[in-house]
Amino acid sequence: MNNTLQLARRGIHVLDLLGLWIGLLSLRLILAWEFGEAGFEKLHGSNWFADIQDQFPWPFKLIPADLNWALATGFEIVGAIALVIGLGTRFFSASLIVLTVVAMLSVHWPESWSSLSELLKGYALTNDGFGNFKLPVIYIAMLLPLVFMGPGRLSMDALIHRRVVKSSH
């Protein structure tokens, strides 16, 4: 029994160590794919923000639609690249949360709802008249560990941090 417990503890320790290297990397890579794909679609598409400009939350509704489009496109593409290499991870993760909240409130949120149960119908991937804010909520939930914990050990941020700490000793 004691050997089994020790083996389980060693296994958990190995998983903990692997998690420091690849746990947060997996979040960074899937988020980079999703935001990069959205950014490149905007880059090669036409600006439809003018059609929804009045639905943007303050202060974004005060910014011209063309500038909003360029900012969203730029943050999605540059943020995706930054997430892949793990550079400026906390900044870009926080920025992508802001971008996602704006998208959720202006595009994915239901136009009207009269009860909490009606609002929760919008926690879906399809829009059947109730919005579709499930995916943005999932993205925010995936970005939050990167804001609070950083990018993990397999990142440029961690490499820079190790070099700064090493050079200060």
Q: pTM for the whole thing? A: 0.89
User: Would you say residue 1 has pLDDT above 80?
Assistant: no
Please, are residues 136 and 143 in contact by the beta-carbon 8 Å criterion?
no
pLDDT, greater one: 118 or 142: 142
Question: Reduced to 3 states, what is the DSSP secondary structure of residue 29?
Answer: helix
User: Would you say residue 32 has pLDDT above 90?
Assistant: yes
For residue 89, what is the enclosing H or E element? helix 89-103
* Closest by CA position to 44, among listed 75, 69, 81: 69
pLDDT (0 to 100) of residue 143: 98
Respond yes or no on whether the N-terminal peptide bond of residue 59 is cis (omega within 30° of 0): yes
Q: What is the mean pLDDT of the chain?
A: 92
Please, are residues 154 and 25 in contact by the beta-carbon 8 Å criterion?
yes
User: Would you say residue 119 has pLDDT above 90?
Assistant: no
User: Would you say residue 108 has pLDDT above 90?
Assistant: no
Among 1-10, 32-41, 79-88, 108-117, whose mean pLDDT is lowest? 108-117
pLDDT, greater one: 91 or 8: 91
Question: Reduced to 3 states, what is the DSSP secondary structure of residue 58?
Answer: coil
The most confident of 3-7, 42-46, 112-116, by mean pLDDT: 42-46
pLDDT (0 to 100) of residue 169: 67
